[in-house]
Chains A and B, each alone.
Chain A
Amino acid sequence: MKAAVIVFPASNCDRDAATALEYFTGTKPAMVWHGESDVPDVDLIVLPGGFSYGDYLRCGAMAAHSRIMRDIKKKADEGVAVLGICNGFQILAESGLLPGTLLRNADLKFVCRPVNLVVEESQSAFTRKYSTGDHVRFPVAHGEGNYFADDETLKRLEGEGRVAFRYANGDNPNGSIRNIAGILNEKRNVLGMMPHPERVCDAMLGGTDGRPLFESLVEALT
């Protein structure tokens, strides 16, 4: 599996994503500056966490208009896998690659802590090594992760099996509607999620629940 990590101004989980990808694929991913026109020929594009453009205006709003996003949209349409983590999810929502939006956390505070998640959908390139119903624990670290979408969108997401992860009951850290933590696009090749799988791939750091996500991608895309 060949991978690329997009670097926006003030992305700050780009190195973390690259470290995890290198661990699982054995090769360093391409680091692609947002001002480039083309993403190299890869199997997976990662939009990492961070504060692109300082979260000014709205999280992800300016990054969604970066030059590189045109090629990412094209490649996503062609079926290339795209994973957006945290700020990456916000950018995917702002750019229309995923439906809905991410509002400020319900308590208006930034939150960083491990949360319990339920894998809702193992039928995707991102989640095939999990089983539906698995409980996993990933950290979140965001101020604006409160997922919201209108009823019709939610009905479609749930009806089409596109909610990949939900916060476990009682452990919703941000007020997301229906406990939604991560969603897929219609073609199931784009996943956006607020929790950070790349931070739980090393037992030394307090957990390995993120490993199946990367192992799924390697298996599906190699």
Chain B
Amino acid sequence: MGNGTHLGKVRGLGSSGHGSQHWLQQRLTALANILLVGFLFVSLIRLPLGDHAAVLRWASNPTVALALILMVVSVFWHLRLGLTVLIEDYVHGEATRLLSLVLLNFYAIGGAAYGIFAIVRIVLAPAAGLAPGGM
């Protein structure tokens, strides 16, 4: 940011006030989503989804669990960016828009935390001797 010259006021910023950051993050998470959600999609098609033990064995694999955690981060980051634009476009009025954006952030961060916690629980439950339930 400059100190008040016309160019300095707009450099790096657009009408949204945060310039190309949103755009770039959307593309980066989109690229990650192609790989990570693609991996989940192929896995879901090939897994015997009715068999809890088999699906649990798949999700307990460290590589799979790592991919799932990365996917949760990338997906919730990406959906936060996308829904932010949706709210900015369609929700008018300062108060309702601010409230919508707050709720969106709760959803995105809370959802991601729940997902990551579930994956960690799946991987560590046998070692910790955890009984079923509690999610």
Query: A and B: partners?
Result: no
Give me the interface of A with B, judged by CB distance under 8 Å: none
Q: Could you list which residues of chain B lie within 8 angstroms of chain A, going by C-beta atoms?
A: none
